């Protein structure tokens, strides 16, 4: 991150004994970009409703935009982790951050699963629905796809890339994280001899963030294609008959973010969840437009560093959280399981619900290794725990795309809060910087993806 001279000034605006201080004004034109995203979402929904066939054809545009964003994730994570770890003198600091992160992720995932279980029992939105044979076939297909590459050893084996370089091209967050940790610790062990490498990686990071800022100008086009495609494929009929489940899920996610995460952030770090959400507003809009929290991952890394969290902490917590801290997915898994059991006329007893909760604690951790994480993990989890319920997964296929919005937003919020909490617990966050940024006194530079840290 770059720093500029912000020496104290007198009330008149100048330095002591000198003329008023001047600073070149940088006009942020990116607000037009996000206004265009909103317009594109509305236009895409309209096209999907009025001309479904045309809307379906536009889906590829949204897929291409998300692919462009995913293209940037591995190099950004690699640079962030290498710079963070390489610049830390004691390896124990990184180990402490990783250990606290893992404990926190496990605790919050369990809490999210339990909350989903409670709300699902209170609402009971699946009562009165019947399963059709066509939907049953969809559920079985999803379960079979989820089983591919499943298992603890397969998951561990997938973390190790074929080559050191292939981790940057395979598109796997965990492989990139693994190699970046190795390189970061190697540079750390080299001491002063590793400083030229760090400077080179820092230069590469600036280029990567600049490319990302250029790609984001295509967000309105991507949003138009993504929304037009999903509305064209499902229409409103897929939403209306399952509206109770959707509303219950969205409300549960809101309560979790502003209630549970908000309370943790306030009492543990003295920060406001509302200010944090406002600070990340553009990232939320990007996630809604693309239905993918991955589209905002690079920006989350940059914004957390600007917020005052050390690079080493950001580099460990954010990428790891995207794989293991899936709060929204955890809530979804239990609520959807209860819904399916009720819809198929085979509701779960309390003992079975507790057993399912324990099972899903493990299953939710494997979501990162499965394409279409939420739906596929649900099918795979039910296949292993209650095979007779897998048929019901097809019942929610029509609205899963809409529920994925809340999953992605909640997962993203959970990782942002986790980064601040772990930073606070390990004393790797500048509290004064956090309050300056959240109060709007030090805005994030949207044009360079770099913020002023001083």
- Return the number of other C-beta atoms located less than 10 Å from residue 320's C-beta: 22
Residue with tokens 């059709």: 132
What pLDDT is stored for residue 126 in this prediction?
58
Q: Which residue has the higher pLDDT, 300 or 77?
A: 300
What's the CA gap between 387 and 420, in Å, rounded?
Answer: 40
Q: What would the two tokens of residue 81 be?
A: 């982790």
Q: What is the pLDDT of residues 126-137, one digit of tens each?
A: 555 554 444 444
- The three-point CA angle 417-423-429 to 5° equals 110
What pLDDT is stored for residue 127 in this prediction?
58
Q: What is the mean pLDDT of the chain?
A: 74
**Fold of domain 88-175+236-451:** 1.10.3860
Q: What is the pLDDT of residues 201-213, one digit of tens each?
A: 888 888 887 887 7
- Strand partners for 450: 445
Q: What would the two tokens of residue 417 be?
A: 């809060």
What pLDDT is stored for residue 148 in this prediction?
52
Q: Which residue has the higher pLDDT, 390 or 39?
A: 39
> Where residue 264 falls among pLDDT bands split at 50, 70, 90?
very high
Mean pLDDT in residue range 226-244: 64
Is residue 14 helix, strand or coil? strand
Residues 6 or more apart whose CB falls under 8 angstroms from that of 311 comprise 80, 83, 84, 87, 305
Question: E strand or H helix at 451, and its extent?
Answer: strand 450-451
Residue 183 has pLDDT above 80, yes or no: yes
Q: Which residue has the higher pLDDT, 68 or 154?
A: 68
- Strand partners for 172: none
**Residue boundaries of the structural domains of the chain:** 88-175+236-451
Q: Which residue has the higher pLDDT, 108 or 144?
A: 108
What pLDDT is stored for residue 24 in this prediction?
42
Q: What are phi and psi of 309, to 5 degrees?
A: -85, 135
Task: Encode burial over 179-191: b for 16+ CB neighbours within 10 A, e otherwise.
Answer: bbbebbbebbeee
Q: What is the pLDDT of residues 420-439, one digit of tens each?
A: 999 999 888 998 999 999 98
Cα–Cα distances in Å, from 351 out to 116, 166, 354, 419? 16, 45, 5, 35
Residue 320 has pLDDT above 70, yes or no: yes
- Strand partners for 429: 309
Which range has the worst mean pLDDT, 12-21, 65-74, 197-206, 357-366?
12-21
Q: Which residue has the higher pLDDT, 152 or 120?
A: 120
Residue 258 has pLDDT above 90, yes or no: yes
What pLDDT is stored for residue 136 in this prediction?
47
What pLDDT is stored for residue 413 in this prediction?
92
Q: What would the two tokens of residue 106 be?
A: 């496990």
Whole-model pTM: value is 0.65
Residue 130: Cβ-neighbour burial (10 angstroms; 0-12, 13-18, 19+): exposed
Is residue 450 helix, strand or coil? strand
Residue 9 has pLDDT above 60, yes or no: no
Q: What is the pLDDT of residues 338-386, one digit of tens each?
A: 887 777 767 777 777 777 777 666 655 545 434 345 666 676 666 666 6
Mean pLDDT in residue range 223-234: 74
> Where residue 449 falls among pLDDT bands split at 50, 70, 90?
low
Task: Encode burial over 291-316: b for 16+ CB neighbours within 10 A, e otherwise.
Answer: bbbbbbbbbbbbbbbbbbbbbbbbbb
Q: Which residue has the higher pLDDT, 83 or 15?
A: 83
Q: What would the two tokens of residue 33 be?
A: 């970009």
Residue with tokens 């600091």: 93
Q: What is the DSSP letter of 206?
A: H
Residue 268 has pLDDT above 70, yes or no: yes
Is residue 20 helix, strand or coil? strand
């Amino acid at each position: 991150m770059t720093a500029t001279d912000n020496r104290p000034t007198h009330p008149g605006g100048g330095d002591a004994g000198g003329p008023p201080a001047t600073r070149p004004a940088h006009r942020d034109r990116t607000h037009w970009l996000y206004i265009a995203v909103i317009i594109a979402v509305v236009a895409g929904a309209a096209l999907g409703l009025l001309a479904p066939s045309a809307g379906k054809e536009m889906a590829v545009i949204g897929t291409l935009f998300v692919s462009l964003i995913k293209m940037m994730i591995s190099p950004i994570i690699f640079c962030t982790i290498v710079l963070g770890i390489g610049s830390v003198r004691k390896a124990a600091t990184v180990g402490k951050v990783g250990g606290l992160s893992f404990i926190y992720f496990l605790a919050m995932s369990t809490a999210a699963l339990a909350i989903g279980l409670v709300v699902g029992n209170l609402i009971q939105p699946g009562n009165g629905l019947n399963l059709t044979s066509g939907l049953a076939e969809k559920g079985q297909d999803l379960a079979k796809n989820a089983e591919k590459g499943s298992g603890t050893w397969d998951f561990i084996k997938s973390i190790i890339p074929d080559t050191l370089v292939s981790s940057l091209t395979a598109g796997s967050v965990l492989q990139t994280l693994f190699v970046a940790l190795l390189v970061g610790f190697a540079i750390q062990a080299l001491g002063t001899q590793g400083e030229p490498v760090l400077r080179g990686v820092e230069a590469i990071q600036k280029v990567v963030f600049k490319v990302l800022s250029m790609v984001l100008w295509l967000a309105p086009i991507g949003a138009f294609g993504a929304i037009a495609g999903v509305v064209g494929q499902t229409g409103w009929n897929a939403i209306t008959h399952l509206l109770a489940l959707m509303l219950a899920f969205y409300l549960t996610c809101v309560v979790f973010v502003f209630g549970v995460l908000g309370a943790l952030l306030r009492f543990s770090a003295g920060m406001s969840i509302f200010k944090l959400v406002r600070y990340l507003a553009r990232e939320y809009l990007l996630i809604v437009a693309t239905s993918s929290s991955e589209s905002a991952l690079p920006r989350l890394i940059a914004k957390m560093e600007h917020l005052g969290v050390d690079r080493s902490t950001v580099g460990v917590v954010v990428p790891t959280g995207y794989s293991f801290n899936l709060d929204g997915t955890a809530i979804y898994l239990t609520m959807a399981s209860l819904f399916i059991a009720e819809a198929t006329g085979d509701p779960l007893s309390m003992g079975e619900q507790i057993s399912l909760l324990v099972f899903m604690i493990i299953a939710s951790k494997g979501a990162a290794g499965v394409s279409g994480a939420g739906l596929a993990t649900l099918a795979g989890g039910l296949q292993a725990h209650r095979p007779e319920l897998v048929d019901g997964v097809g019942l929610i296929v029509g609205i899963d795309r809409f529920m994925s919005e809340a999953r992605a937003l909640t997962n993203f919020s959970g990782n942002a809060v986790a980064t601040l909490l772990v930073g606070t617990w390990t004393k790797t966050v500048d509290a004064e910087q956090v309050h300056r940024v959240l109060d709007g006194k030090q805005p994030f530079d949207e044009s360079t993806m770099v913020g002023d840290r001083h």
